[in-house]
Structure 1
Amino acid sequence: MSSTSHDFKELCFWCRLGDLENVDRLISKGVNVNSIDEFNNSPLFLASLCGHEELVKLLLQRGAVCDRDRHEGARCIYGALNDSIRNILLKYDISKAVDLKQPFASHLSSQLSDTSLKSHDIILRFANKKEIRLHRFLLATRSNYFAQQLHGPWSGYTVAEMPQDAPPVAIDIISGYVYLVPLLHNLNKQESDWLLQFCEELGFSSLADFVKRSRLLADQAQITKLMTEYQHTFTEEARGQMGALVEDIFKQRLKVKLIDEFPTSRVDIPREGSVIPDVYVLVKNSDEAKSGLLYPCHRSILARSDYFHVMFSSSFGEASSYQLTTEGVVDRTSPFPVVSFPNCEPSVAELILCYLYFDKTDVPWELAIAVLKAADSLMIDRLKTMAAVSITQSSEFLSVYSVFDILHTAWEFRLERLEHHAAKIIADQIGYYTSQPQLKEVILESCDRLQAREETDTIELVDDIRYYLMKKYNVDADDLDDLKWSENLKGGFEESEELRLYQHDYIMLDDILQELGLEA
């Protein structure tokens, strides 16, 4: 289906340029990677045609389909710029397109079977004694039926007896759908009839549509293609539902007083509310940490952060939520665990929670540096990258921060994208920046960043600035190889105006290096 949305047009633009971070950001917003533009070009076709190998891999990992038996797939393969990309596409099995999804969906899928966090808190038990361990909050979030049961008959209990006639394979499909696991099961008529009935009761209309259409197909390859089409719908439904859950989390946050950065009173398990949390996240206010906000959250989602994953899978007290009695009843006499975010404003903490719960990757430029700091502390590298993208795309950022702020941020948080962005800004306005004393300071800092500098070493910042000077004037290495420069590079150029301007800017930078006593 052709797409003319602004976000899809932007996705196609970045696919032409090969910008991984911006493509990842837009896919995370829910843009369909298998749409086509008004010229019948898919994002995968554009990336293949323009020779962006890493981007082709990313698109395939995010669900782009390359089926050589279909027109779009054949165009990608035969239109690929080089053999390397062509081989990647030829080797790619279409079934992988439903196994590698958006990062948030992939994490959600992993939580179905990941027992390291011990966060499963509801068991579905069958007549044959089979049991499936799930998360109460996720069932309630994805289905009104489960929400009513968990707040009613199943409230406070961890075991739910399933109907006697429930086929286990159908329940496996229901569980997989809730957790966004690809649904590639072969069902007999009795099993699919039961599944359709249960889908109707649970409100899973899109899953029911898939089952109805798939059982009309006999060829497994066709079923797989159908699943690929529906997986995007399933993922976007889940994102919307998780977004609504986060809104409830924000509504149910609590204001607390703190002593020594801890709540002054015991924090108990919430008895009411739609969130069904198993941990509180404490965000300290900036009033000398005398007060803070508690957000009711879920360890299985916070574990998208490597920092929290290590904490929750360890022997620390935060690794346990509430205790259960031998009868499977929640013991409400147990204290509720509380974990802390790094010191940040609530707006920053809430943006991070939006990322963890439903992969929101749009970071306002005003919050970008604060998000970088918090994401670095929480070991969320992808969110750091998204914050860096926000900085590089903002025309207003430099009205508040300097290019040297960008450079120091890049070094502090190890973000190569920001280093290159700062170097490009300096190259574009080299006349202005060579008059600024801070440029000399950052060149020396870049020099000091080398572990063991020798005379033959180069200075990374200087190399980057020189590279962007070449891009600025459309000069390439072959042009420079053909030139006969004087010893100090101040001989004249007769070849072109671009080369003359390039030499002028190059010499301004070189003069600073000589003034600093550097040969780079």
Structure 2
Amino acid sequence: MDANQASNGAAESVVPPADQAPADAHQGANMNGPEEENLLDAVGDSATRDTEAEDEIDEWELGDSYRRSRRKRTPQGDVYSAARSGDVDRLKYLLHEEGVDINARDKWDSTPLYYACLAGHEDITMILLEAGAVCSEYTFDGDRCHYAALNLRIREILKAYEQRPPPLDPLQLDLRECFPPEGDPCWPPDITFSFLGSDRTVGAHRAILAARSPYFSAAFAGKWRGRDEVRLASPRLSYSALVSLFQFFYTDRLDVAVDEMEDLARICRQCRLPELREKLEAEKNHQKYSDMKWHRLHQNLQRRFVLQASSLSEPARLNACLGNILRRTGGLAATSDVITDRVGDLDFSDAATPSSSRDDFADVILATGAARKFRAHKVVLAARSEYFRARLSRTEGFKEGLVPDPDGSTLPVLTLNDVSPEALETVFEYMYTDRVTSVDPGLVVEVLDAASQFLLFPLKRAVADALLPGLEAANVDELCHWLLVADMYGVARLREFCLNAMANNFEAFASSAAFQAMVKELPPLTEFVDATIRPNKPEVAVPRGTEERNEESTNVLEDLREKWLEFEGGELEERDKHAAEFDRRMTDLRNMDPREPSDFSSAD
């Protein structure tokens, strides 16, 4: 019998089939509360909450007997059947290709993690946890997973992951530093909310609040225009609920005490966040169902509700909302196809022309010479790039370099002389949406230069992701060019793609003039040592405090040799002979006159 103790006290001994409900299943229903007063008629607050310890999770070793266990394949199954049967391939496909919500409940109110724990699949459990499945014992779903765990091993995994918050994407991770649970923000707030009859305040940023909530967008453009502080007047407004909502605005992750859910739902009603409010109302029903069991087992602990970004529709997520406000500034191409591909199926019919900060809430202008000016937001630039954070901090308090804005204010101007408007548009797309949907091959080198200049190193991978689909049909000359570019700028994924293509079609590449020119440009191969005479590496003690040297190859030709040997090398001495032949051919290419035809055939 397994350890699953459902809320009604029942126990289960086997995994329920697809057409049978778990023993503790129950049905939830949304409850619509009465109309509430306007809670945000001028008040505010700021306090910080403790965050979960970000302990490192050790790698879990799966036993041999577990690896040998047979799994049922579910080629057409949903995420619940894949988790229940232990189909790793199907689960990964659903997570990475279909983008399913891993915290969604089925008709029996069970999550994929619940089924994985109930069936005792350690690898499935870890995949779901790494993807952001809620496992906290102090939540409704997490509590069920702990009690459903088939063995102590599953419970140990849940406990280990419970000690850290779920992983955040780079955009959410960077913006969290602007509204941290504790400590000072990386960029000072430009709007402060205070509560009536309280000395607590909450500092935030107009651009983020306006991007996430239509209510704040209208308020900042209307009744709160030009104000640095807003004093909220409603005595029923919960400070902690408002802070939880603001943290959700910055991170796409909601973590709220169950006791605050009703207050937060009222705030969501006024902020015009129907999707978030519906999820809160539905969760309130689940929490009522487990009240009796909770008070019996955890009388002194506070229950919490955790909502991940994957539970939201695409238009309601942070990158889509920031893409919308960037669209208002005119910082992206105005074609509807580009916008739809980038941030989902959004309605930009109300997006105003970039003529006033009443519409886009821009507070800085980036100028690329005399060609084009981009309206932007300091909080996004400072959060995503240390380069812009340093430059913007030097403009604070100075009157020089200010230009008038149509709404009567003045905006600072940062001049960027080393980047074209087209390349900066791609940089902006990444900074606001965490992705690059498409990139002109002629702009790739300039965008990679900008990524290095602005210290936006993850942008290089985003550029590679956008470029690679177009390289499937690339010719020899193009792949040689992109390999040199990838090696120069350290774009690992693009480099790996080119090396694999060359290793798979080595003879075609070796006979081309472009490959010969590339070999001449690259550093030469190091001397190859045959395996039969290779001496054992002596043990050398590294002095304490000295960084041990990483001896892994970074030479392009050496990496190409290793890739080619994976296909042609064989084993032991045969592999060494093939490696020596590869070195000889590279040497001949380096010494060959460019006017001579290169005719390399297979080794004799």
Which TM-score applies when normalising by structure 2? 0.58
**Per chain length, whose mean CA-contact separation is higher, i.e. which structure has more relative contact order (CA < 8 Å, sep 6+)?**
2
Residue 451 (structure 2) aligned to one of 371, 375, 379? 375
Unaligned runs of 5+ in 2: 1-17, 19-73, 78-87, 106-110, 136-141, 334-353, 401-406, 530-550, 592-604
Quick check: 1:170–1:194 contact (8 Å CA) kept in 2? yes
Unaligned runs of 5+ in 1: 6-14, 79-85, 254-268, 324-330, 490-502
The AA in structure 2 aligned to 1:143 is S
2:327 aligned residue: 247
The reply to whether residue 280 of structure 1 matches residue 369 of structure 2 is: no
3-state secondary structure, aligned to 2:193: strand
How far residue 271 of structure 1 moved from its aligned partner, in angstroms, is 4.9
The AA in structure 1 aligned to 2:390 is M
Quick check: 1:125–1:160 contact (8 Å CA) kept in 2? yes
Matched residues in 2 for 1:350 and 1:428: separation? 36
Quick check: 2:211–2:321 contact (8 Å CA) kept in 1? yes
3-state secondary structure, aligned to 2:251: coil
1:150-189 matches, cutoff 5 A: 150-165=220-235, 166-180=237-251, 182-186=253-257, 188=259
The reply to whether residue 468 of structure 1 matches residue 543 of structure 2 is: no
Say how many residue pairs are matched.
432
Q: Is the deviation greater in 139-148 or in 269-278?
A: 269-278
2:340 aligned residue: none
The reply to whether residue 101 of structure 1 matches residue 138 of structure 2 is: no
The reply to whether residue 301 of structure 1 matches residue 380 of structure 2 is: yes
Identity rate of aligned residues, in percent? 17
3-state secondary structure, aligned to 2:371: strand
The reply to whether residue 363 of structure 1 matches residue 438 of structure 2 is: yes
Quick check: 1:97–1:228 contact (8 Å CA) kept in 2? no
Matched residues in 2 for 1:145 and 1:459: separation? 53
Residue 439 (structure 1) aligned to one of 499, 515, 531? 515
The AA in structure 2 aligned to 1:295 is F
Choose between structure 1 and 2: higher helix proportion.
1
The AA in structure 1 aligned to 2:366 is V
How far residue 230 of structure 1 moved from its aligned partner, in angstroms, is 6.6
Call closer, same or farther: CA 1:363–1:62 in 2, change over 3 Å: farther
3-state secondary structure, aligned to 2:438: coil
1:59-458 matches, cutoff 5 A: 60=129, 62-64=131-133, 70=145, 89=157, 92-94=160-162, 96-98=164-166, 100-113=167-180, 115=184, 117-127=186-196, 128-165=198-235, 166-180=237-251, 182-186=253-257, 188=259, 192-212=261-281, 213-214=283-284, 215-216=287-288, 217-218=290-291, 219=294, 227-228=306-307, 232-233=311-312, 237-239=316-318, 240-250=320-330, 271-282=356-367, 284=368, 289=369, 291-312=370-391, 314=393, 316-317=394-395, 319=396, 334=410, 336-340=412-416, 342-346=418-422, 348-364=423-439, 366=441, 367-395=443-471, 398-399=474-475, 402-447=478-523
Matched residues in 2 for 1:132 and 1:3: separation? 49
How far residue 480 of structure 1 moved from its aligned partner, in angstroms, is 1.6
Quick check: 1:344–1:374 contact (8 Å CA) kept in 2? no
Quick check: 2:364–2:413 contact (8 Å CA) kept in 1? yes
The AA in structure 1 aligned to 2:249 is V
Which TM-score applies when normalising by structure 1? 0.66
Q: Is the deviation greater in 118-127 or in 360-369?
A: 360-369
Quick check: 2:104–2:311 contact (8 Å CA) kept in 1? no
3-state secondary structure, aligned to 2:359: coil
Matched residues in 2 for 1:272 and 1:332: separation? 9
Call closer, same or farther: CA 1:393–1:270 in 2, change over 3 Å: closer
Quick check: 2:383–2:389 contact (8 Å CA) kept in 1? no
RMSD (Å), alpha carbons: 5.0
1:480 aligned residue: 571
The AA in structure 2 aligned to 1:311 is A
